[in-house]
Amino acid sequence: METGIPKRRCKMKKLVAIAAVLGLAATAQAGPWGKGMMGKGGPGMGPPPAVMNKFLKDIGVSPQVIKKLKNLHYDAQEKSIDIRAQVQKARLELMKLLDTPKPSRSAVFSQLEKISRLELEMKKLHVGMMLDVKSLLTPEQFEKLQAFHAEWKAKHRRGKGRRGRGPRGGPGAGPMP
């Protein structure tokens, strides 16, 4: 009599593989400033435009350079949105491939490579933006900008000390601080 254990193990292996693949790389979303999609702040989104503009003026960045920085930011955000959408579609396609009874090893690996290329493209976009920003600022201004971002990130980190995403006391919430 068959116990069903091999089927259960196969399903578990598939679920573990899918979870591992989807958790391989998180796309970077940090830009020099912005509220993120839907006008709301989020992790890695940076300070709002008004705060960033004031800071840049305070450290002596000219209005012309501020305008260039804004344009760089908006261009990078637009490209970032496109790449993130491509990554999500590629991950969905990978899930479909893995969900078949006998997934093709070459198709799965090819899809993994596609996802990796897109994630590398995202990293290059962000590093390229950082290099562009660095080229527009003096070394002192760039250093102050980095310190400002680090301070902003530390102050506005979400979920500090909590696990999960649920509201305090709700599902997914960790121990109360």
Catalogue all structural domains in the chain, each as residue range(s) with its CATH number. 49-154 (1.20.120)
- The percent of residues above 70 in pLDDT, for the chain, comes to 63
169 pLDDT higher than 80:
no
What is the overall mean pLDDT for the chain?
77
Measured distance CA(150)–CA(30) in Å, rounded? 12
- Stretch 96-103: mean pLDDT, rounded? 95
- Stretch 40-48: mean pLDDT, rounded? 59
C-beta separation of 44 from 30 below 8 A = yes
Measured distance CA(28)–CA(122) in Å, rounded? 7
pLDDT band at 83 (very low <50, low <70, confident <90, very high): very high
pLDDT band at 158 (very low <50, low <70, confident <90, very high): low
Whole-prediction pTM: 0.63
